[in-house]
Chains A and B, each alone.
Chain A
Amino acid sequence: MRNPKWSWLSKGAAVLAVAAFVAGCGGSSPQVVTEPELPMEEPTEPTTPPAPRDTTSAYVDPNTQYAEDFRAIHFEFNRYRITEEAKPRLERIATLMKDNAAWKVLIEGHCDERGTNEYNLSLGENRAQSTKQYLVQLGVSETSFQTISYGEERPVDMGQTEAAWAKNRRAEFRIEAPRS
């Protein structure tokens, strides 16, 4: 069964994270797919309650604050290995995560539209997993992560050009931080 401690990773937080991510992208892509309303299943196991919301002080979503650091990393066609270009970015992310041990980070793996959906679903999962493993090797706790693959289902650029495909072969990050 799924890790119950992730149950607080709520739909609202996800939508907020997407909005922050979109803002952080600064319109670098012509079309952004936003998260739809997803029905949540009734939890079958006891869950950790959401962290209490502090309504008196201004809350800064880390997805906004660290949008530049946590922007997507990209991959080669049909590959899931971490590129040299992505490594310094992951080192920065590892540093931030070790400084903010309460953060949970959801890593989303994505593919470009070419090729079979089914294979791309596995490839996207591997992109998320290899990203996670790289961060774990840099000293981040393994329990700080959750992965999800969307295969080719959520492109950021609908174009059918090499440039568009390159943008879509990516791993995205969503920080889920308890608000204190």
Chain B
Amino acid sequence: MRGTQSFRMWAVAALMLVGAVLPRLGAAQGDAVKLPDIEKDADRRIAIGIAKYPDLPAETIGSPAENVLAFDFELSGWFQPVPAGMLPPRTLDDWVRRGAEVLADVERTAGGVRGAVRDTGTGEILFERNYTDASGPLRARLHRFTDDVVLALTGEPGLARTKLVCEWDPDDAGRSEKRLVVMDIDGFAMREFTGEDALELGPRWTADGGSIIYTSYASRYPDVYLHSVTMGTRQIVANHEGLNAHGDLSRDGRFMALTMSHAGNPEIYTKDMASGMIRRLTSQGGSDASPTWSPDGRRIAFVSDRTGRPQIYAMDPDGSNLERLTHRGNYNTAPDWSPDGTRIAYCALRSDGFQIQVLDLRSGQVTTVTDRGGCEDPSWSPDGRSILYSQTAGGRTDLYLTNVNERKALRISRGSGRFTDPDWSPIP
């Protein structure tokens, strides 16, 4: 167990990089301590004590505030929550004995909530801020507090205010057909997205987080729709004869990649969103699917079974420079580019079932990040450190996320029904 002193050094180094967020620690800036490399030290989580907060009762937010914070800090990938437990610590020394390096304090103030983080060794306040009642629902303010703490102590953006969109099959006798739902990344605040009474599949956020592109059978046939989250309006963006699916907008929003079958078998196309002009990129037999833009817009990864079994390929947006990316196994599907464009996560069928794998495009190295089987449809976190996916096990299908280095699965979806094909929103 690392002591508080080593944490202090680490935190100070982090704060130096953030840029003197907390002037009171400025005196330590002369220490030439380097922020640990994220890849190497990804398992180095800060142990954060989560006290009980009696003046923030569960009924106001659906669950106790300490649960909300513990989940958010765990989700961030940077903190390991240390719960108060049955015999809550009363002093900072009690927290030190529990292994907590820092302690999160949240308390009601006049007209708001004050969040603070203290060093359990010195008692020093590392971050504090007041969140007024006017700034939103309490749960949203707790998410905001977590993100602020993550940024202040690590220099990295937090994820607590991000959302996900996924397919949801209520799986009951009255209705068993998928609809799109949006929820907070901690699985709460779930709502049906379109309100349409039709089969809906394959939702993807646009890069600005303002819209969701998906496939709907509202016309009876599969068409691609673009639905504004903020305006609540939607438009059909592809409804040719046959299949129109797997819509994915380039980051600049100018081009949509998609799968269509009006020329025969399913092929990959792009559509110029301004002129409406379509361009066919593939012309092989077999099933092509799941086109997905690289973050820089220079490549499109997709799935094709042109060799007999589905594998992942990449090509330029005009269809040239085709390269096969996966070579092991005979079932590799559902590619998703990491936000920095250096890795692709995908679903691989192995001897131990469907697993999520990550291909490093620079080294060619493949890493398996799940181990229980039944895992599909990976989606990167906007910080590129975690992957959200669906897993079918024990008669349920739920959403999980895993930090790609630690590979510890955290369940996200709650409640009944089956949750599939999630997509993680950008950071708001």
Binding site for B on A (CB under 8 A): 1-3, 11, 14, 33, 36-41, 78, 80, 114-119, 121-123, 125-126, 129, 146-151, 153
A136 to chain B, nearest CB (A): 11
Q: Contacts of B218 on A, CB cut-off 8 Å?
A: 38-39, 41
B350 to chain A, nearest CB (A): 13
CB closest chain-A residue, reference B267: A122
Given A118-B245, A119-B303, A1-B239 contact (CB < 8 Å) = yes
Partner of A119, one of B177, B178, B221, B287: B287
Q: Does the CB pair B266–A117 fall under 8 Å?
A: no
Q: Contacts of B198 on A, CB cut-off 8 Å?
A: 38-39
A127 to chain B, nearest CB (A): 9
Count of interface residues, chain B, beta-carbon cutoff 8 Å: 49
B196 to chain A, nearest CB (A): 8
CB closest chain-B residue, reference A158: B176
Partner of B310, one of A38, A119, A147: A119
B351-375, CB < 8 A from A: 354
Q: What are 8 A-to-B residue pairs whose CB atoms are below 8 Å?
A: A2-B241, A38-B218, A118-B377, A119-B305, A119-B334, A121-B222, A122-B288, A125-B243
Q: Does the CB pair B201–A116 fall under 8 Å?
A: no
Q: How far is the CA of A19 from the CA of B303 in the complex (A)?
A: 36
Q: Does the CB pair A122–B199 fall under 8 Å?
A: no
Shortest beta-carbon contacts, A-B, top 3: A122-B289, A122-B287, A116-B333
Q: Contacts of B264 on A, CB cut-off 8 Å?
A: 129
B200-257, CB < 8 A from A: 201-202, 215, 217-222, 239-243, 245-246
Given A37-B197, A39-B218, A122-B259, A115-B242 contact (CB < 8 Å) = no
CB closest chain-A residue, reference B310: A119
B325 to chain A, nearest CB (A): 15
Given A122-B259, A125-B242, A115-B354 contact (CB < 8 Å) = yes
Q: Does the CB pair A36–B178 fall under 8 Å?
A: no
B347 at the interface (CB under 8 A from A): yes
Q: Does the CB pair B266–A118 fall under 8 Å?
A: no
Given A1-B240, A123-B287, A117-B177 contact (CB < 8 Å) = no
Given A38-B220, A41-B218, A115-B289 contact (CB < 8 Å) = no
A158 to chain B, nearest CB (A): 9
Q: How far is the CA of A116 from the CA of B420 in the complex (A)?
A: 10
Partner of B334, one of A33, A38, A40, A118: A118
Q: Does the CB pair B287–A153 fall under 8 Å?
A: no
B338 at the interface (CB under 8 A from A): no
Q: How far is the CA of A146 from the CA of B220 in the complex (A)?
A: 12
Q: Contacts of A41 on B, CB cut-off 8 Å?
A: 218-219
Q: How far is the CA of A129 from the CA of B240 in the complex (A)?
A: 15
Known: A36-B199, A39-B196, A121-B215. 13 other contacts (CB 8 A): A1-B240, A3-B241, A115-B349, A116-B290, A116-B333, A117-B420, A119-B287, A121-B289, A122-B303, A123-B289, A126-B287, A149-B222, A153-B177
Q: How far is the CA of A123 from the CA of B349 in the complex (A)?
A: 16
B261 at the interface (CB under 8 A from A): yes
A124 to chain B, nearest CB (A): 8
CB closest chain-B residue, reference A148: B221
B262-279 interface mask toward A, CB cutoff 8 Å, 1 = contact, 0 = none?
001110000000000000
